[in-house]
Structure 1
Amino acid sequence: MSTPHPTAGQAAGCPVSGTPATTARLYGPGLDGDAMPALYEALRGAHGPVAPVSVAPGIDAWLVLGHRELLRLTREEQDFSHDPRRWSRLREGRVPADAPILPMVGWRPALLFADGQQHRRMRAAVSDALAGINGHELRRGVRSTAEDLIAGFAARGEADLVAGYARMLPMRVIAGLLGLDERTGRELVDAVGGLVSATSGAADASRRMGAILQGLIERKRRVRGDDIVSSLLHHPARLTDEEVLHNLVVMFVAGNQTTVNWIATALRVLLCDPALRSSLSGGHLSVDDALDLVLWRFPPTQNFPARYATRDMRFGGQDIRAGDMLILGLAAANADPEVLPADGAPVAGNRSHLAFGAGPHTCPAQDPARLITRTAVDTIRHRLPDLELAVPESELKWVNSPWSKGLGTLPVRFTSPLSPSGPAPSGAPGAPAPA
């Protein structure tokens, strides 16, 4: 990969210049979700819409920051492949087997790593499995789970809405959609957390996740259920067990953590932005409008791996070589000055953001993810109307990850919650939503 000359004034080793001085680091303790936006703007100012970065020690890539460039990256498969076996560094044996990024970008027989017909075949199975989810039942299940979680901390008058709500709710719901019990679902979530952290434990987390899902597939082969796994196993696309396994990995990694971050960030924004909260309470904005504002400003996935150049080209002002890795800078592209209103006004009622990607690989699970998030936010707003932060906003902690923008904690306080409005959802409290 070619890199431009160092930008004047950048110090070697700082987060903006990285190591070496010509690239920025997308890893390390100094770059959490709160620090990333400043890094993106520094890169945009120094390099334009495509910037050289380092995604792990000694592993370079290009970060696509421009909205227009990211649309091209996601739509033109003939120039930008999803198949990591095209990655020149990997082909040449220059990626250590224990590289923390490898579990995220190593090839799997899944829709995320395929182009053309192979991608369409697997996407059809995944899309049909997701389309089989009963939206009414999913909403009832999410609300029931939300009520159960709120009841667990209501008497204390305080809670951490990340650990006690945002992290627990999608885990229970998705575990139900996969046909997992809660304990196994929790183990799977822990493994996914280790995978996306991009630390030395990522490889072990990937193995644990694979073992859990492999056991689930074997059980569903023997006894078919009314769940996503069974739907994938018996789809006309005739996915192999290995393909089912790795598509489940993609669905769970992308679906669970993204929904956790979306719920937590939406609650943080409502707690910290009085004008937005007032507009929502007064009916000037819908919950969906507020959720889209969150997706514009604070997309749950900051950066997403990866595309691989199929030929040498000039792209975004940079000389890209065949086999170079390009990272989708979703958050940076959403903040591109070329697409934001000139007056800086909020982008309300507009879903042209790139939080779910674009092109043939647009996230197929965005509708159930929105339903889960909307129901989670709506339920806690109505049950805890005087919810407020228990610490100054500046003291909130963020998770360190090159990919995900997630809060580590969201401590809140409140008085006695209101009783649930309307009839109680049927089924046992906290029961996962059936597919």
Structure 2
Amino acid sequence: MTADSAHAAAAAQPRCPAHAARIPLHGAEFSQDPARFYADLREHGPVAKVELAPGVPASLVTDYSAALTVLRDPISFPRDPHHWQRSLPPTASMIAAMAFQPLCLIVDDSAHARLRGAMSDGLDRVDPTLLRASVERSADLLIDEFIGAGRAELLADYAAVLPTLVLAQLYGASAGLGKRLMAGAVRAKNRSPHRTAVDLHESVSELVAYKRARRGTDVTSAMLDHPAELTDEEVVDQLTALGYGVEPLQNWITNSLRLLLSDERFAGAVSGSVVVEDVLTEVLWADPPIANHAPMFPVRDVEVQGVPLPAHQPVLISFAAANTDPELAVGQERAGNRAHLAFGAGPHSCPAQAPARVIATVGIERLLDRLPDLELAVPADRLTWRPGPYHRALAGLPVRFTAVGARSTSDRSTPRAPEPDTVHLPRPTARPTPSESDGEETGPAWWQSLTRWWRDR
């Protein structure tokens, strides 16, 4: 079904006036060819009527300049969904993805400044050099498991696990908690989003309780020590929100690998002739992992570029459509250009952009270094995309390469990465590290424990 026929079919269904003539963003047709739908949506002006799920209407901003206007105006377009949420039945599928949570990405005003400040300050203190070393070592741990097979499923075996393994170190997790977080990442593809979120929240709650008594040099401890004086539950909520970023990050990695391995513009990239960061930036412009989101709920009827928007009804930003707005195409160079909206804009933009870029860049570079003849195992047009209105996510990424014997890190000619139990922040004065205070597995022991568990799982 084409975008035009899908639109016609949607309009032909008997619906109440609020749902009339809405273009559906759910189903396989949209996920396989969203560009056709975005082209159709643009015919309706800078903001179009869409359906996020059967019976769930919304307005979608597809124009770049209009998107910036909305994202930068939290007064007219607050994030609080309480009024809208009360209008939906308890079983509505959209509640889980758009419901209120006390997160810095959702709350507004002084509450936002307080929570956002604590999270941003904690992330800003991460040493990018040590983070890069951590990603390299994490990548090697995962690559060692399939390098001898000559084939791999890079979504399940690599991209879905790498961000979680690094995140466990950013959090300052013990080896035991690191194992549970990794196991949750492996299970997430076959479990409900709600159950996965509950598991993550429970694990982070345990971590925060542990760190409250035994500080370390990690993001969790930095947030607990922040002048904003967050409660334990507030720290848990913000770290859980950071964990929600694992899925967009894995999709950014797989979307970039797909582009790099299938687009003739990047032929020879595996041998180093193309900068990986340019490929990552191209994906953020053309195929962002979060395609449509940032729900906002105007408290009164408003207009955006002449389009009326009703009070209390969701207004979403199409990052994918705005980034590919034809008005931006003339004379625009994407390489090195970070004016895209893939991380949002305004006060609620993503606070973890810098570490996410390091994880994605180093994760792909390490993979290409170790598997220089990496190629897709199926034609690119046979890859399938997971349905859903919010993400741009492959269902899998099978690849093949020349099988080689897995080597330990110490056997490689490339520099050996440090062996941290966490990605360290500047050490606080006169405060013991976890290894000094409680005997938890740290350094090489952390990695040895994770390696044994990963190989025996």
- TM-score of Structure 1 vs Structure 2, range by shorter chain: 0.7 to 0.9
- Contact 1:11–1:17 under 8 Å retained in 2: no
| CA shift digits 1:220-277 (9 cap, x unpaired) | 2222232222221221111122221221222111x21121111111111110013223
1:276 and 2:263 are equivalent in the alignment:
no
Q: Superposed, which structure 2 residues align to 1:9-158 within 5 Å?
A: 10-13=7-10, 20-32=19-31, 34-45=32-43, 47-85=44-82, 88-90=83-85, 93-158=86-151
Partner of residue 236, structure 1: 227
2 CA distance for matches of 1:83 and 1:188?
29
Q: Deviation per CA, 1:87-125: give whole Å up to 9, x if none.
A: x432xx321223222122221222111222221111110
> Is 1:325–2:314 an aligned residue pair?
yes
CA distance in 1, matches of 2:14, 2:351: 36
CA contact (8 A) 1:98 1:203 kept: no
Contact 1:15–1:31 under 8 Å retained in 2: no
Select which of 193, 213, 217 maps to 2:208. 217
Paired residues for 1:411-426 under 5 Å:
411-416=398-403, 420-426=412-418
CA positional deviation for 1:21: 4.8
Q: How does the TM-score come out when normalised to structure 1?
A: 0.87
261-270 or 313-322: bigger deviation = 313-322
Counterpart secondary structure, 2:311: coil
Contact 1:398 1:406 (C-alpha < 8 Å) held by counterparts: yes
Quick check: 2:161–2:185 contact (8 Å CA) kept in 1?
A: no
CA gap of 1:416–1:192, structure 2 versus 1, over 3 A, is closer
One-letter identity of the residue aligned with 2:417? P
SS at match of 1:338: helix
Q: What is the alpha-carbon distance in structure 1 between the residues aligned to residue 88 and residue 324 of structure 2? A: 32
Report if aligned partners of 2:271, 2:372 keep a CA contact under 8 Å in 1: no
Residues 82, 113 of structure 1: 8 Å contact kept: yes
Question: Which residue of the other structure, out of 248, 257, 261, is the alignment partner of 1:258?
Answer: 248
Shift of 1:215: 2.2
In the superposition, relative to structure 1, how do residues 147 and 321 fare at CA in structure 2: closer, same or farther (>3 Å)?
A: same
TM-score (norm 2): 0.83
- The structure-2 alpha-carbon separation of the partners of 1:391 and 1:192, relative to structure 1 and needing over 3 Å to count, comes to closer
- The question of whether the paired residues in 2 share the 8 Å contact of 1:271 and 1:277 is answered with yes
Larger displacement relative to structure 2 (96-105 or 23-32):
23-32
Percent identity reads 36
Give the whole-Å Cα distance in 2 for the aligned partners of 1:63 and 1:191: 32
Indicate if the aligned counterparts of 1:16 and 1:24 stay in contact, CA closer than 8 A. Answer: no
Residue 339 of structure 1 and its aligned partner are, at CA, apart by: 1.1
Shift of 1:145: 1.3
159 and 204 in structure 1: CA distance in 2 versus 1, 3 angstrom threshold: closer
Equivalent position SS for 2:328: coil
The match for 1:183 is: 179
Give the C-alpha shift of residue 188 in structure 1.
4.4
Matched, 1:314 2:306: no
Unaligned runs of at least 5 residues, structure 2: 426-457
Q: Distance in 2 between matches of 1:39 and 1:244?
A: 39
Deviation of the 1:389 alpha carbon: 0.9
Cα distance in structure 2, aligned partners of 1:50 and 1:330: 13
Q: Given residue 169 of structure 1, which amino acid in structure 2 is its aligned partner?
A: L
Cα drift, residue 280 of structure 1 = 7.8
Check the 8 A contact 2:77/2:299 in 1, yes or no. yes
Cα deviation digits, residues 166-218 of structure 1 (max 9, x gap): 111111101221233332213543687689xxxxx444444333322222222
Letter in 2 for 1:352: A
2:218 aligned with 1:227: yes
Distance 1:38 1:315, change over 3 A: same
- The one-letter code of the counterpart of 1:89 is W
Find the counterpart in structure 1 of residue 455 from structure 2.
none
Q: Secondary structure, in 3 states, of the residue corresponding to 2:51?
A: strand
What amino acid is aligned across from residue 260 of structure 2 in structure 1? L
SS at structure 1 position matched to 2:415: coil
Name the CA distance, whole Å, in 2 between partners of 1:135 and 1:17: 55
- The change in CA–CA distance for 1:372 and 1:359 in structure 2 (over 3 A counts) is same
Structure 2 counterpart of 1:42, which letter? D
Contact map agreement 2:291 2:319 (CA 8 A) in 1: yes
In structure 2, relative to structure 1, the CA distance for the partners of 1:189 and 1:317 (3 Å cut) is farther
Q: Give the superposition deviation at 1:282.
A: 6.5
Q: Which amino acid aligns with 2:394?
A: L
How many residues align structurally?
Answer: 412
After TM superposition, give the deviation of residue 279 of structure 1 in Å: 6.5
Letter in 2 for 1:355: A
Q: Which runs of 5+ in 1 are unaligned?
A: 1-6, 196-200
